[in-house]
């Protein structure tokens, strides 16, 4: 992995997420902004570790793309911010009953699906390839549990190029930060570099 590959991946992530967040800001009650994007390499565990769990459980939506160019992506949320997220996304908050309700899960799955599909579309459009993601999956728990779920989806590769972006979701005076992470195998990163060249 070299700096040029990182630049290609970072530009695709930033461009796709910014466009997606502008659209979300126009149609929802909240303001959605890309706060930062960083690149590295590592395992699914180190990718999930880009999210600051603060010793608390989190909620995550993830899916994988199989085929010649596999890719896995995940969006991680703070369950304590579900009220803020649902108000920003839907315009209202669900009644709180403690924990993550089925309605919360459906809402996070839908939001994650929108954001992660935007990211995947930019990557595969750059290649001129079509793709079929798996059905988005939901998992809640500590870093280990989420990392295990992402590792199972990501397949056999041990290390990945990782692009991790922080999204700030603001409604009224509350702000929630979610992490969007793409795990890109070296073969896909090299194909992107060739396509951009």
Q: Print the SS3 string covering the chain.
A: CCHHHHHHHHHHHHHHHHHHHHHHHHHCCCEEEEEEEEEEEECHHHHHCCCCCCCCCEEEEEEEECCCCCEEEEEEECHHHHHHHHHHHHCCCCCCCCCCCHHHHHHHHHHHHHHHHHHHHHHHHHHCCCCCECCCEEEEECHHHHHHHHHHHHCCCCCEEEEEEEEEEEECCEEEEEEEEEEECHHHHHHHHHHHC
* Homologous superfamily of domain range 3-196: CheC-like (3.40.1550.10)
pLDDT per residue as tens digits for the range 56-70: 999 999 999 998 899
pLDDT per residue as tens digits for the range 86-139: 999 998 887 777 789 999 999 999 999 999 999 999 999 999 988 888 899 999
pLDDT at 17 over 60: yes
Query: pLDDT-derived band of residue 5, with 50, 70 and 90 as boundaries?
Result: very low
Query: pLDDT-derived band of residue 2, with 50, 70 and 90 as boundaries?
Result: very low
pLDDT of residue 153: 93
pLDDT of residue 1: 42
Sketch the domain layout of the chain as residue ranges. 3-196
Region 133-153: mean pLDDT is 95
pLDDT per residue as tens digits for the range 26-64: 999 899 999 999 999 999 999 999 999 989 999 999 999
pLDDT of residue 4: 43
């Amino acid at each position: 992995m070299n700096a040029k590959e990182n630049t290609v991946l970072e530009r695709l992530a930033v461009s796709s997420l910014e466009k997606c967040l502008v659209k979300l800001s126009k149609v929802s009650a909240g303001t959605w902004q890309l706060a930062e994007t960083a690149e590295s390499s590592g395992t699914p565990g180190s990718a999930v570790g880009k999210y600051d769990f603060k010793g608390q459980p989190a909620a995550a939506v993830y899916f994988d793309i199989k085929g010649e160019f596999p890719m896995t992506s995940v969006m991680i949320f703070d369950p304590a911010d579900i009220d803020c997220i649902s108000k920003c996304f839907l315009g209202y908050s669900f009644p709180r009953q403690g924990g993550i309700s089925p309605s919360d899960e459906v809402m996070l799955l839908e939001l994650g699906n929108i954001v992660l599909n935007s990211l995947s579309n930019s990557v595969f459009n750059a290649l001129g390839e079509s793709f079929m993601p798996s059905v988005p999956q939901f998992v809640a728990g500590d870093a280990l549990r989420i990392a295990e779920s992402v590792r199972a989806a990501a397949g056999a590769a041990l290390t990945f190029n990782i692009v991790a972006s922080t999204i700030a979701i603001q409604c009224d005076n509350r702000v929630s930060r979610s992490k969007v992470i793409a795990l890109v195998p070296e073969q896909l990163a090299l194909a992107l570099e060739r396509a951009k060249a």
